[in-house]
Amino acid sequence: MIIGDQQSVLCALLVEPWNWEQVPLKKVKEEQQSIVKVTFLTTKDELLGPIVKYINTESEEIVGYNTRH
């Protein structure tokens, strides 16, 4: 699901189900069962890449993230 229009806003949001084993930088050690990958698409993506956070859908806590390049 994309929220926003990249042509008219500075940031759009992409949310998709994700697998815990594929989270590159984990903020917690214990395995998370229900997580989503939230990608913030910004005007700086070409230079730095998107902002990505992994959120536990039950606790609504950030449990992991990606680095920007």
Annotated domain spans of the chain: 2-65
pTM: 0.80
Contact criterion met (CB below 8 Å) for 36 and 18: yes
- What is the pLDDT, as a whole number, of residue 68? 85
- Using a 10 angstrom Cβ sphere, with 0-12 exposed, 13-18 middle and 19 or more buried, the burial of residue 30 is exposed
What is the token pair recorded at 65? 């993230």
Q: Which residue has the higher pLDDT, 65 or 13?
A: 65
User: What pLDDT score does 25 carry?
Assistant: 95
